[in-house]
Structure formats: structure tokens, C-alpha cells
């Protein structure tokens, strides 16, 4: 690695979906941190904050326009509808990579501790292309969330999915690594596994995750489970192999039962077994449905990929400093009064 001599222009990217309650607090905090880093000479004076409105239903976009008019270094990106957290991050990085040397993605609810941003930039200056912000503990989580998260990382690792444990989407990426990420064309986006696949020099910075400052979580249990399943099935075919092995095992058990039944019949000990019959039907029926469901998930992903639809659609950009082509997106402008 080569130590960087140039002070980077930093872009802070915040995906926002219905975040009007917390947006002002978040921007106030980030502007203070940005100003302090500029005074220290850690980042360029034109470093910016980019907020990606992921199809919010509240006043999030109106607030972004207000703040953009108050501070020249706040940029708003409006998506045409709600595409989801991961595509919103991609949209922000796609726009920010035209202007910034390094980009940091973090949530708008301030649970990601912005105080470590300077440490992440220091790692970047040491030559690292990617810097992961990793939680030092999960004491702020409920017992259920903490244990299910740990189980997810163990299962994902066993299935061959390369993840950074206790890391979400709070990370720094250089322009080089972002451009490489944009070359990955898949529509089933799971950045926590896609970024490590790039293979660039990386480092970790630990932090203590806080509580949401306002508003409600955008990841309830159902959405978290869906996100976990999507992530695993996007990067591993082991679930299908597991179902094949399970099928072989069941066929073996069935063979033993057939032999046992024939011997019992020849010895005259055969009896009607309603209970065992029902258990077998329900067991095999459930396994068949589960197997079909897993295979269906993979077929659904193939269906999504072959259509090659844009992963996100940018409707409007306010305060953008440098025009340029947008990777993997169709962009059209509307009046800023929206």
C-alpha cells in the first residue's frame, strides 16, 4: 500500500426513507464533524454531504431542498420511487463517485456513530481502499435481535458467504473501489457481501452503535429475515446442495423402512400404523415444499437478473457540483420545486 499524499474530497452518503423527524439533527451533527475535519486539514473544503431520498412519503425531500439552499455542500438525490436501502446506497455512490475521492455511507438515523469518520479517513490516507466500521458490541440490541444476528453470520459463513461480522453498511470506499463495485451488474444487491468480493486492501474501525434518535426503524423483523435470505441466496448455492443431501438421506431412511416393513410382513408382525403413516406424509410433504421454495427463490433471482432492469432511477439532483455520466441508471431532471 502507498500512503496517500493528497487530502481527499470526502462525500458522506445518507440513504433516507421517511426520515423527516431525524434529518435536521443528523445534518447538524455531520456538518459540525465536517467543519472540524476541514479545519484540521483532514479533508478538502468542498467535501459534501449527499442525502438520497428513497421515495419518501413524508417531507424528507422538501427538507433536503431547504437544507441544500442553506449550505452549498449538501446535495440531494431523489429517486423516482422506493427502490430499497441497497439500491439507494448504489445511487448515492454512483453520483458521489463523480466528485469525491472517498465516500462514506451511513444511515440517516445516527445509530452509526459519525465520530469515527475521521478515523476512517485516516485509514484511507494510509492506503486502504475500503474501511469497514464494525460494531464493538451488540448491547443496544434486544436479546432476540442480537442472537439472530450472530446466528446469521455463522450460517452465512458456513454457506460460504464472505461477510465482515458485526458490519452493516457503514463503510468508507475509495473512488477506485466504487467504480469496481459499479461493474458488478447484479440486480439482487447485497453490499455486505459484494464489497468484500472486490479484494481491495481493507481495514476495520470499531465503534459503539447508538440508538435511533427519532422516527421508527425501517427494518422490522419480516424485512430483516427477507434481507438475510436474499443475501445468502445471492452468494451461495449451498442451500440447494443441502436439500439434495437431505433428499439422499431421506431416501436412505425410506429404504431401511421398506426392508423393515417387508421383514415384518413375512414374519406376520405387520400392523396398521396410522400415526407413522401420517408423520411420514407430513414430514416428506413439508420437506418437498421447502425444497421447492428454495429452488423457487433461485429461479426468481434468475428471472430478476435476466430482465436487466435499472437498479435505481434518479428523478432529481440538487446542488450537484460536477456533471457527468451516471453508471447503470437513467437520469431525468424535474423542476426543483418538487
CATH number of residue 98's parent domain: 3.90.550.10
**Locus of grid cell 453520483:** 95
Is residue 322 within 8 A of residue 98, CB to CB? The reply is yes
- For residue 262, being part of any structural domain is answered with yes
Are residues 56 and 148 located together in one domain of the fold? yes
- For residue 336, being part of any structural domain is answered with no
The one-character DSSP state at 116 is G
Q: Which residue has the higher pLDDT, 193 or 142?
A: 193
| pLDDT reading at 180 higher than 90 | yes
| Pick from 6, 313, 54: nearest CA to 175 | 6
- Confidence band for 323, pLDDT divided at 50, 70 and 90: very low
**Locus of grid cell 427502490:** 83
C-alpha to C-alpha distance for 175 and 99, rounded to whole angstroms: 9
Are residues 41 and 188 located together in one domain of the fold? yes
Are residues 209 and 267 located together in one domain of the fold? no
Q: Model pTM greater than 0.75? A: no
Burial code (b: 16+ CB inside 10 Å, e: under 16) for 82-118 equals ebbbbbbbbbbbbbbbbbbbbbbbbbbbbbbbbebbb
Are residues 146 and 213 located together in one domain of the fold? yes
Q: What is the pLDDT of residue 262?
A: 65
Write down the mean pLDDT value for the chain.
79
Mean pLDDT for the stretch of residues 249-263: 69
Number of domains in the chain: 2
Are residues 193 and 254 located together in one domain of the fold? no
C-alpha cell read off for 30: 455531520
- For residue 229, being part of any structural domain is answered with no
| Domain enclosing residue 45, as ranges | 10-221+309-318
120-144 pLDDT tens trace: 999 999 999 999 999 887 776 677 7
- Confidence band for 337, pLDDT divided at 50, 70 and 90: very low
24-56 pLDDT tens trace: 999 999 999 999 999 999 999 999 999 999 999
Q: What is the pLDDT of residue 311?
A: 83
| pLDDT reading at 298 higher than 70 | yes
Q: What is the pLDDT of residue 154?
A: 78
Share of the chain above pLDDT 90, in %: 37
Amino acid at each position: 500500500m502507498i500512503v496517500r499524499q493528497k487530502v481527499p474530497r470526502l462525500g458522506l452518503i445518507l440513504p433516507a426513507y421517511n426520515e423527516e423527524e431525524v434529518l435536521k439533527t443528523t445534518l447538524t451533527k455531520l456538518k459540525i464533524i465536517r467543519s472540524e475535519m476541514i479545519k484540521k486539514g483532514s479533508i478538502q473544503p468542498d467535501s459534501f454531504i449527499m442525502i438520497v431520498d428513497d421515495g419518501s412519503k413524508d417531507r424528507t425531500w422538501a427538507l433536503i431542498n431547504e437544507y441544500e439552499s442553506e449550505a452549498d455542500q449538501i446535495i440531494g438525490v431523489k429517486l423516482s420511487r422506493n427502490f430499497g436501502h441497497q439500491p439507494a446506497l448504489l445511487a448515492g455512490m454512483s453520483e458521489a463517485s463523480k466528485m469525491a475521492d472517498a465516500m462514506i455511507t451511513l444511515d440517516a438515523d445516527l445509530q452509526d456513530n459519525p465520530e469515527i469518520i475521521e478515523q476512517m479517513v485516516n485509514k484511507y490516507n494510509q492506503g486502504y481502499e475500503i474501511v469497514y466500521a464494525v460494531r464493538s458490541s451488540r448491547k443496544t440490541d434486544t436479546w432476540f435481535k442480537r442472537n439472530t444476528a450472530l446466528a446469521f453470520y455463522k450460517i452465512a459463513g458456513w454457506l460460504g458467504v464472505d461477510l465482515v461480522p458485526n458490519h452493516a453498511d457503514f463503510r468508507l470506499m475509495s473512488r477506485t473501489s466504487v467504480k469496481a463495485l459499479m461493474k458488478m451488474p447484479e440486480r439482487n444487491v447485497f453490499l455486505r457481501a459484494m464489497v468484500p468480493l472486490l479484494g481491495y486492501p481493507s481495514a476495520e474501525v470499531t465503534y459503539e452503535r447508538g440508538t435511533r434518535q427519532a422516527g421508527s426503524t425501517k427494518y422490522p423483523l419480516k424485512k430483516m429475515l427477507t434481507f438475510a435470505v436474499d443475501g445468502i441466496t445471492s452468494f451461495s448455492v449451498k442451500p440447494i446442495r443441502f436439500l439434495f443431501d437431505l433428499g439422499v438421506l431421506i431416501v436412505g431412511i425410506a429404504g431401511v423402512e421398506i426392508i423393515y416393513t417387508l421383514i415384518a410382513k413375512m414374519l406376520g408382525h405387520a400392523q396398521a400404523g396410522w400415526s407413522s403413516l401420517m408423520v411420514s406424509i407430513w414430514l416428506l410433504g413439508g420437506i418437498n415444499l421447502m425444497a421447492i421454495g428454495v429452488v423457487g427463490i433461485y429461479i426468481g433471482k434468475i428471472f430478476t437478473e435476466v430482465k436487466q432492469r435499472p437498479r435505481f432511477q434518479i428523478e432529481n439532483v440538487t446542488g450537484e457540483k460536477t456533471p457527468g455520466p451516471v453508471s447503470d441508471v437513467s437520469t431525468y431532471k424535474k423542476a426543483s420545486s418538487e
